[in-house]
Chain A
Amino acid sequence: DTGVSQDPRHKITKRGQNVTFRCDPISEHNRLYWYRQTLGQGPEFLTYFQNEAQLEKSRLLSDRFSAERPKGSFSTLEIQRTEQGDSAMYLCASSAGTGSRNEQFFGPGTRLTVL
């Protein structure tokens, strides 16, 4: 297994369009996380899944955002009616959820630019 993968790596869209990002976690990791990172800032937590259950959502995740993890494996993050303020790097991470470390392994991110 080569780690967490995200697709696409870059997305340019026009304001008002919908976009969907995909994250494939490390196999057998039951926890999956989404973060957003704007230029010059650290990543901000958006939401996380334990298997297929979405257990917490940040207030940053407005009604235009929806995340799913239908079979407890890959996850999608959809943004409807994109706004210029949505331009950011969207990072996905996964973890085993057990053990003393529970370190999160991050993917390379999807960079979204909204024109």
Chain B
Amino acid sequence: DAKTTQPPSMDCAEGRAANLPCNHSTISGNEYVYWYRQIHSQGPQYIIHGLKNNETNEMASLIITEDRKSSTLILPHATLRDTAVYYCIVLLRANDYKLSFGAGTTVTVRA
């Protein structure tokens, strides 16, 4: 599975969009990009995933560049409850049983 690089931390103002970058320059054509988050003292929570196309659900949007070497998770209107560690994970669909979380980005939403 391809490695990912994320900034260790970022701040965001409440009510504003939070844009979380992830680099995955060695991604292969059949590897998916998954995002999970972990709120303090809880287990991780699935957010979204995609292969090539941009994706949107009730939680977030995922923008994948055309060359697929990077992606951005967008939280459209960040709230204080979005403060968490966000993990970008790249893996084959066939390997989706073993998530490899890395260090993630600690996002702090400030009032």
Report which B residues bind A (CB closer than 8 A): 38, 41-46, 49, 85, 87, 96-104
Given the known interface contacts A43-B44, A107-B43, A108-B43, the answer about A101 and B49 at a Cβ–Cβ threshold of 8 Å is: yes
B46 and A45 form a contact (CB under 8 A)? no
- Please classify the interface of chain B as helix (H, G, I), strand (E, B), loop, or mixed, using the class held by over half of its residues: loop
Is A74 part of the contact surface with B, judged by Cβ < 8 Å?
Answer: no
A48 and B97 form a contact (CB under 8 A)? yes
B45 and A106 form a contact (CB under 8 A)? yes
CA distance A98 to B94 in the complex (A): 12
Report which A residues bind B (CB closer than 8 A): 4, 31, 33, 35, 41-45, 48, 55-56, 58, 91, 93, 101-109
Given the known interface contacts A104-B46, A106-B43, A109-B43, the answer about A45 and B96 at a Cβ–Cβ threshold of 8 Å is: no
Distance in angstroms from B92 CB to nearest chain A CB is: 12
Closest to A106 in B: B43
Distance in angstroms from B40 CB to nearest chain A CB is: 12
Closest to A97 in B: B97
A42 and B102 form a contact (CB under 8 A)? yes
Given the known interface contacts A42-B101, A42-B102, A44-B101, the answer about A101 and B43 at a Cβ–Cβ threshold of 8 Å is: no
